[in-house]
Amino acid sequence: MDNMLRIKRVSGKLRRASDALFWATPLLCAVYWCFFNEFPAAMKSQLPVMERMELPAMNRLLCFAATLPPVGVAMNGFWNLRGLFGLYAAGEVFTKRNVCRYRRLGRTLLYWAGAVFLHTPLLSLAMSAGMPQGQRHLVIAIGSIELVALFAGAVALVISWVMDEGRRIEEENALTI
């Protein structure tokens, strides 16, 4: 099979998957917090504060609000992936538009690290809101997710610079007689 044909075919599928994930991310987040109290403890074990197994509606609403920064960044990432795979599906591989998409993805990964870092203290405050004084929590943590996102973002930015340089050289060569 021709490599470009394979790129177009698989990119079309990945574009549709990115589309679905773009819309599913906020929806699934809302569903999680709406039905939080009905979920088994295993689905709650990674949360920063879990002293009580059931959360009142106001806390669940605050928790949903606390998840909006990473959800928004994830949606931005899926939107950029949708655009990138759309370009590939159309046969555009080394163009200025591809470079811009890669650069946006790199920045999105850097923003993701910040959003996930911000998410933990916001979520801990939302979960412990309404608890008596002395039982409220503020959790600040940095973990491998943030570090991987920072590294991947830096890698994507460097790749975008390399692609841009290759594109620029190719344009110069095309103009050389």
Q: Compute the distance between CA of residue 152 and CA of residue 146 in angstroms, rounded to an integer.
A: 10
**What pLDDT score does 108 carry?**
97
pTM across the whole model? 0.87
pLDDT of the residue at 131: 78
125: left (phi over 0), alpha (psi -120 to 50) or beta: alpha
Q: What is the pLDDT along the chain (177 residues), one digit of tens a residue?
A: 699 999 999 999 999 999 999 999 999 999 999 999 888 877 777 777 665 668 899 999 999 999 999 999 999 999 999 999 999 999 998 899 999 999 999 999 999 999 999 999 999 899 888 777 877 778 888 889 899 999 999 999 999 999 999 889 888 888 876
Give pLDDT, residue 50: 64
